[in-house]
Amino acid sequence: MNGRTDQPLRLGVNIDHVATLRNARGGSDPDPARAARLAQQAGADGITLHLREDRRHILDADLSAVIDAVTLPINLEMAATQEMQRIALSHRPHAVCLVPERREERTTEGGLEVAGDDNRLREYITPLRDAGARVSLFIAPDEAQVEAAARVGAQVVELHVGAYAEHCAAGDDAARNAELRRLFAAAALADALGLEVHAGHGLNFDNVGPIAAIPEVVELNIGHFLIGEAVFIGLDAAIREMRRKMLLARM
Can you tell me the distance from the alpha carbon of 36 to that of 71, in angstroms, rounded to the nearest whole number?
10
Does the active-site annotation cover 198?
no
Phi, psi of 128, deg, nearest 5:
-65, -45
Q: Are 13 and 39 in contact (CB under 8 A)?
A: yes
Count of positions on this chain that bind ligand PXP (CB under 6 A): 19
Q: Is the Cβ of residue 101 or residue 191 nearer to ligand PXP in the bound state?
A: 101
Q: Is the Cβ of residue 6 or residue 54 nearer to ligand PXP in the bound state?
A: 54
Does the active-site annotation cover 147?
no
In angstroms, what is the minimal distance from the CB of 58 to ligand PXP?
10
Can you tell me the distance from the alpha carbon of 5 to that of 116, in angstroms, rounded to the nearest whole number?
33
Catalytic one among 101, 201, 219, 229?
A: 201
Q: Is the Cβ of residue 3 or residue 170 nearer to ligand PXP in the bound state?
A: 170
Catalytic one among 17, 57, 77, 101?
A: 77
Can you tell me the distance from the alpha carbon of 4 to that of 136, in angstroms, rounded to the nearest whole number?
19
Q: Give the x/- contact pattern for ligand PXP in 69-108, rule: CB under 6 A.
A: --------x-------------------x-x-------xx
Contact window for ligand PXP (CB under 6 A) among 126-134, 143-151, 207-215, 220-228: 220-228
Binding to ligand PXP (CB under 6 A) within 193-212 occurs at 200-203
For 106, how many CA atoms within 13 A lie in the half-sphere containing its CB? 3
Can you tell me the distance from the alpha carbon of 35 to that of 243, in angstroms, rounded to the nearest whole number?
17
Phi, psi of 76, deg, nearest 5:
-95, 115
In angstroms, what is the minimal distance from the CB of 209 to ligand PXP?
15
Does the active-site annotation cover 77?
yes
Q: Is the Cβ of residue 146 or residue 203 nearer to ligand PXP in the bound state?
A: 203
By the rule CB under 6 A, 184 interacts with ligand PXP? no
Q: Are 198 and 221 in contact (CB under 8 A)?
A: yes
Binding to ligand PXP (CB under 6 A) within 221-240 occurs at 221-225
Which residues have a Cβ under 8 Å from the Cβ of 11 and sit 6 or more positions away?
43, 44, 45, 46, 219, 220, 222, 239, 242, 243, 246
For binding to ligand PXP (CB under 6 A), which residues are involved?
14, 16, 50, 77, 97, 99, 107-108, 138, 158, 200-203, 221-225
